[in-house]
Amino acid sequence: MAEKNVPLSDEFLKKLVVDLNDNSVQAIILHGSYARGDARPPYSDIDLVRIVQESFPHPEHKRFLYRDGYLLSIASRPLSAYRKRFARPEKAIFAVPGVREARILLDKDGSFKTLQEEAWAWTWAPLQVAADAYASQLMVEQTEIVLKTLRALILHDLVALADMTLDLFSAVTEAVAVQRGVLVESGNTYFHQVQKTIGVQSLWTQYHLRAAGITSHPPPSAEKRGKETLYLYEETARLLRPAISSEHWEVIAQTIETIEKTLPHEEIG
């Protein structure tokens, strides 16, 4: 059974800092569940970031390795990467909470502490216009996926249907999260936070749960989940209508008409 809330020892963290530190490093920080205090070893990885100087190469891809039975996830990036993410709504919903929660293991010149103070002073309002535009673009891009989902349903192509359903479900969730400015605490809480923002008893959340296939036993068929995801798209479009541009809405509205002409709509009681 997984242990809950087991902190990492100071000795273990100090050894990691020694191993990860070099002349390019400005700071080393601990993110994620071990920083928040809700880790469940051995199923929680240790998220570490090396904050490197701007003049050094800083690949965004992560390194993964095991140390004393723990899976380490190690990224390297400059402070400027965080500030760029703070200015983009689709990135800020993840980046800002991550910086706020971070535990500083090494900070040679205090630069990360300064960034953390910026994260706590950061506000969502200046990004709302960009967030609306991002959600609008994402929703109109899904019209193609909606039609492919309908085609897969008609042809009983279960492989394509599973692929389209997953893409559409993820995209509409992201559109709502970004447009509403949901600051994501962790990957484990992401869906719950979005549902809570819209309302746990809302029609949108009911479709979201049904599209995820977790509201019935036995689990719904691929066709049923595909239909529920299309209904979720419809409800998301109505929910985000004030944020969607007129140009995009014209395309989205016609796509919704196609859904309604193709599928019988089962109302949620």
Contact 219, 254 (CB under 8 A): no
How many residues in total does the chain contain?
Answer: 269
CA dist 183 and 91 (Å) reads 10
**Bond before 218 cis per omega within 30 degrees:** yes
User: Which amino acid is located at 63 in the chain?
Assistant: R
pLDDT at 264: 75
Q: What value does the mean pLDDT of the chain take?
A: 93
Contact 56, 24 (CB under 8 A): yes
* pTM for the predicted model, two decimal places: 0.92
Contact 231, 207 (CB under 8 A): yes
Tokens representing residue 252 in the block: 């989205």
Strand ranges of the sheet holding 46-52, from the earlier edge strand across to the other edge: 63-67, 70-77, 46-52, 25-31, 103-107
pLDDT at 266: 58
CATH of domain 10-122: 3.30.460.10
User: CA 170 → CA 69, 130, 180, 259, distances in Å?
Assistant: 32, 20, 16, 19
pLDDT at 180: 98
CA dist 85 and 91 (Å) reads 5
* Opening angle at CA 206, ends 233 and 169, nearest 5: 35
CA dist 191 and 239 (Å) reads 17
- For the chain, residues with pLDDT lower than 70 are 1-6, 57-60, 265-269
